[in-house]
Structure 1
């Protein structure tokens, strides 16, 4: 097997040690907004409403906003187990991509007859988000920068030029270096319009603020523990603070166990690890260029993602995607120093000219991985309960599209969106433990092997590809 560039060109151990020495185990995005964070009340007892939304992340907040815009007279209530945006919505890299299918290749493999329709829907979705943010003056550090996907290995350069999106430009090594200077970059595909970057926690808080101004009621620290009801009656949600009844319910609980048992194994929790640097000096920033402030990713199976913040820090995340046996979600899983050290090594391999830069924050977030890598939709009680999950790390943009689908389905509308096979089909679940753990770990090993074998996929990965199953890094 061949070594990757990150193994061939390892930085000195002291550079990594010094960079991580004073790092805080905390999400930068959440820390960055703490002084301005608005608190919402705790549920005070029983209530009833026309619409209940469970979950105050992006999917839940977009859904609540769209329900209230359509029915201003209706009572719309959001119930959040902890705080607005505290989980995946506030912890991600802040990439808002046009794709609603986790990339064009995923759409082509699963829905070849609808690829162009899905591509167009994704770009329309991103444009609609930008219009909404601009029209309502949401303070979210939105930048429509586009994204660069770089090749770090010779075999990856053969994949350049395969992106079917219109307007994607293939860059030579020198052209790539002119945009972002790194000795590992051998070429790139640049998509100028298919991605924006955003401050994740600001987006969650601003959506909540706007929802409240519309009249949506938001209750924090109000965890729903059970859902029941009959096809022809109200839906009942149980919390430790009271019982809530509604005519229609949207479940937007992301990676957390579904209130509908039939979907419990349709997602598994996968931990993704992230670093954030201190703000770069003008000289440090000049050494890497990056004047276009594009989102950055690489083409490996185990890939990195990176971007600049408003104050010119560099976020650096990805590569390790860790599933812990038992499919549990625990705060202690966020403190995995071996993953953060690996990320730091890879950072300084990519940008050796930044030796001496310190990391201020390290954290992790839980991804709701599905077997098809993108969101799926479920329902219960004759359609009066709608469920969406499985965004697999690309939910910043796709949650807006999902909210449109959920609202259509709650109202029984047949639209172009609801008729998409992506919406109508439910993917296969993961197997229960211990088979889940064994299968996922073997798949992760296989993906790592492929990165060390010039991208060549072993029989397991080929079989999973053929079956439309997988596990994303």
Structure 2
């Protein structure tokens, strides 16, 4: 864990350095993040998390009810754990567009709107084929996230889950003062079905999370990005958190698909005699963690040139192990549905985890893996 924490810190600093080097305006704000307890049972969990952080060399601030509400004014807050150093806010789309422009400036060719439908080994090269032709490469980094992977062995490990978000209109100066939030840290609550939220550069509030929806058969369709029932639930939760903002309008609402695996963090591997490396299963952690995943893939591809060679990253248990695969349908849909219901019930029952969740914990599956 000490090694992983240090590598994570290096990864975060490297993202900021890359933005500076290539002049990318991605609204980078190293403000940290604060996890808030909104129910009594969540307070001891924050205290335990603080103890673990101290053991690993971090110095987060544990805040009581008055102190946390002084940071961000919500009547629902009972405690907070503010990590001031290990997290930064960023605009993900501007980050992606800026990195693409930087790649092009270095001579990289990007084939947009080109769906790759096949992958096969062709002599000493790999051939990626699609509707309009094919591309060959000596080495391939496969990072297609939630979408059906080209490598069959990955399919049992991944499911697509839809996540949803709202964004308010810009806060007026009076509304901004009523909320506080002068340090602009990212926020998330400590429930199992949690919300994540932040201020944008123009002082809107982005509010998302809570509902993570899986559709039968790894369903992926554009119409699934619009879920009015979830948008309505998110709006209710928003005004429960910030009643002083009653009447503010939401100007944007959307949904998107993320790749999830059973251990809720990325996994890695190689194929085709180590000429292909892959990383997937980020479970919503991808904005920062995909850079780390890219480094792992590059390490694995370099190792392919020197059998037996290892790096600090590839020696990690996180990189060397795989999550438990999901069962096939229809059992997959039933297991995921049961787990979602049990997670919701644990939140209603003061965090008490039922038999099913305790069994998953023992198997190293889910949030506590």
TM over 0.5: yes
1:84-99 correspondence to structure 2 within 5 Å = none
The 3-state SS of whatever aligns with 1:392 is: coil
**Aligned residue number for residue 306 of structure 2:** none
Contact 1:167–1:191 (CA under 8 A) maintained in structure 2 = yes
1:322 to 207, 210, 213: 213
Aligned to 1:194: 86
Q: Does the CA contact (< 8 Å) of 1:161 and 1:169 recur in 2?
A: no
> Partner residue of 1:152?
38
Q: Secondary structure, in 3 states, of the residue corresponding to 2:18?
A: helix
Residue 367 (structure 1) shift: 1.2
Distance 1:147 1:470 in 2: 22
SS at match of 2:157: coil
SS where residue 259 of structure 1 aligns?
Answer: coil
Residues 118-157 of structure 1: pairs in structure 2 closer than 5 A? 118-157=4-43
The alpha carbon displacement at 1:470 in A equals: 2.7
Q: Which residue in the other structure is 2:239 paired with?
A: 348
Give the Å deviation of 1:150: 0.4
Deviation digits for residues 368-407 of structure 1 (CA, Å, limit 9, x no counterpart): 0011111111221110011111000001111111111111
What corresponds to 1:179 in structure 2? 71
Structure 2 stretches of 5 or more lacking a match? 304-308
Which structure has more RCO (C-alpha within 8 Å, separation ≥ 6)? Answer: 1
Unpaired segments of 5 or more residues in structure 1? 1-114
What residue number does 1:75 align with?
A: none
Task: Give SS of 1:160's match.
Answer: helix
After superposition, where does 1:5-404 map in structure 2 within 5 Å?
115-163=1-49, 164-165=52-53, 166-229=58-121, 233-404=124-295
**Deviation larger for 156-165 or 116-125:** 156-165
Shift of 1:471: 7.0
Q: Which is further off, 174-183 or 419-428?
A: 419-428
Matching residue of 1:428: 324
CA, structure 1 residues 370+157, in 2 after alignment: closer, same or farther (shift >3 Å)? same
Question: How far apart, in 2, do the equivalents of 1:249 and 1:285 lie?
Answer: 47
C-alpha distance in structure 2 between counterparts of 1:415 and 1:157, whole Å: 39
Deviation at 1:221, TM superposition (A): 1.1
Q: Distance in 1 between matches of 2:354 and 2:102?
A: 49
Counterpart Cα distance in 1 of 2:2 and 2:359:
26
**SS at the partner of 1:148?**
strand
Greater shift, 329-338 or 339-348, is seen at 329-338
How many residue pairs end up in the alignment? 357
CA–CA distance in structure 2, aligned partners of residues 183 and 469 of structure 1: 34
Q: Please list the CA deviations of residues 415-459 of structure 1 after superposition, one character each: whole Å capped at 9, or x if unmatched.
A: 111111111112221111101100000000000000011101111
